[in-house]
Amino acid sequence: MEDEQNILALEVEIVNVLKTVFDPEIPVNIYDLGLVYDIETTGDKKVVITMTLTAPNCPVADSLPNEVRDKVKALPGVEGVEINLVFDPPWDQSMMSEEALLELGML
């Protein structure tokens, strides 16, 4: 039970740190943009993040996943981070949170 609580607490911390990473072309964080498809934490202090970009030819295709990896790896209790960059399903605006839609004046 305690391990489960620790994993849930870590996942909250990961989401909070992902909300500090921004797509440079859109003034909204990558989590609220819907670019993060899955966060998996394992018992051995490893984190696997499945994410996408707004477009396959995104100018930050190299730097954005590295920024995510570095920020999540800096969290206490995280010893390794794997980023799975996928393009299926392709990202679209329907994946954005209500907060992101409000921020961009789309609601």
Q: Which CATH superfamily is domain 2-96 in?
A: Fe-S cluster assembly (FSCA) (3.30.300.130)
**Which residue is it, tokens 């790896």?**
73
Domain map (residue ranges) of the chain: 2-96
More confident residue, 4 or 11: 11
Note the pLDDT of residue 1.
53
Q: What is the pLDDT of residues 10-50, one digit of tens each?
A: 899 999 999 999 988 888 999 999 999 999 998 778 999 99
* Among candidate residues 14, 24, 15, 34, the one with its CA nearest the CA of residue 98: 34
Model-wide pTM > 0.75 = yes
Question: Which tokens belong to 81?
Answer: 């981070």
Note the pLDDT of residue 88.
93
Query: Is residue 56 pLDDT above 90, yes or no?
Result: no
More confident residue, 44 or 81: 81
Radius of gyration for the alpha carbons in the chain, expressed in angstroms and rounded: 14
Q: How far is CA 68 from the centre of its chain?
A: 7
